[in-house]
């Protein structure tokens, strides 16, 4: 296993810019590009694809719910067929820009409430896997949830994630705020070190739960995302130095 750092990007609209995309690119290994439903527009998608390609960073799709006002963080009642089609539509849009730049699609990572919905509902996750199978790419998600179970059953490569800028509940679910907030870099560093060294995360109740992952996510819309990513990159690099023949890259 190699531990990478990924970040959600391209979540702007027209002249309204959000996130720290440009500054984060040198610090991450993969980006998840908003495909126009929860955020993003055609010009922005193209710009992120071009910048990521120049930086040598892997590019994946970040499909979300069709709710830009709620930034895809409000759940919707959807059938598996609807989930499949809205994911297929968004991945197809990104794929067009990737093809234009000669860049391959790296993976699919659902966004926001869609991420949570398909993590709990195997039928909805099956719909995401339909698209992953069509494009022959892995899916990102949480270990121990429908993300991992369905991907395994469908033969879809799976990349487990750990989040340093979100809290965890005792049941392993994520605490997602409607509005982004700064995460102290020292807290992100401590979370990353605990997860890498001991395979654990501290929950909102102070208890610890086991975590297994191959990639650490840093959200680009966190106000101090660059400082957070820099701290996490340092922890990953230190872990590699301490264990040169091991699993951290």
The answer to whether position 249 is within a domain reads no
**What is the C-alpha to C-alpha distance for residues 146 and 67, in angstroms, rounded to an integer?**
23
Closest CA to 227 of 200, 188, 177: 188
The answer to whether position 248 is within a domain reads no
The answer to whether position 95 is within a domain reads yes
The answer to whether position 211 is within a domain reads yes
The answer to whether position 98 is within a domain reads yes
The 3-state DSSP composition of the chain as helix, strand, coil percent (nearest 5) reads 45, 15, 40
| Number of compact structural domains in the chain | 1
Give the pLDDT of the chain (249 residues) as one tens digit per residue: 589 999 999 998 887 877 789 999 999 999 999 999 999 999 999 999 999 999 999 999 999 999 999 999 999 999 999 999 999 999 999 999 999 999 999 999 999 999 999 999 999 999 999 999 999 999 999 999 999 999 999 999 999 999 999 999 999 989 877 777 889 999 999 999 999 999 999 999 999 999 999 999 999 988 899 999 999 999 999 887 666 554 443
CATH classification of the domain holding 101: 3.20.20.370
The answer to whether position 154 is within a domain reads yes
The answer to whether position 205 is within a domain reads yes
- Domain span at residue 180 reads 4-242
The answer to whether position 123 is within a domain reads yes
Closest CA to 191 of 170, 216, 171: 216
């Amino acid at each position: 296993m190699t531990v990478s750092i990924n970040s959600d990007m391209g979540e702007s609209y027209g002249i309204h810019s959000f996130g720290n995309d440009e500054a984060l690119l040198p610090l991450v290994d993969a980006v998840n590009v908003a495909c126009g439903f929860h955020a993003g527009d055609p010009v922005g998608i193209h710009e992120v694809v071009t910048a990521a390609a120049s930086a040598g960073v892997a590019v994946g799709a970040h499909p979300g719910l069709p709710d830009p006002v709620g930034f895809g963080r409000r759940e919707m009642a959807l059938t598996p067929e609807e989930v499949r089609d809205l994911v297929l539509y968004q991945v197809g849009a990104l794929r067009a820009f990737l093809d234009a730049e000669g860049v391959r699609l790296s993976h699919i990572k659902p966004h926001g409430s869609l991420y949570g919905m398909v993590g709990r509902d195997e039928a909805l996750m099956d719909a995401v896997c339909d698209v992953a199978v069509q494009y022959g790419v892995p899916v990102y998600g949480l270990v121990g949830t429908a993300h991992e179970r369905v991907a395994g059953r469908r033969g879809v490569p799976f990349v487990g994630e750990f989040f340093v800028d979100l809290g965890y509940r005792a049941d392993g679910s994520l605490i997602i705020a409607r509005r982004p907030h700064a995460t102290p870099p020292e807290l992100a560093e401590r979370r990353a070190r605990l997860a890498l060294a001991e395979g654990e995360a501290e929950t909102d109740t102070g208890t610890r739960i086991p975590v297994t992952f191959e990639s650490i996510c840093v959200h680009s819309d966190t106000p101090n995302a660059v400082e957070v990513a820099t701290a996490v990159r340092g922890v990953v690099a230190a872990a590699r130095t301490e264990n040169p023949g091991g699993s951290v890259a």
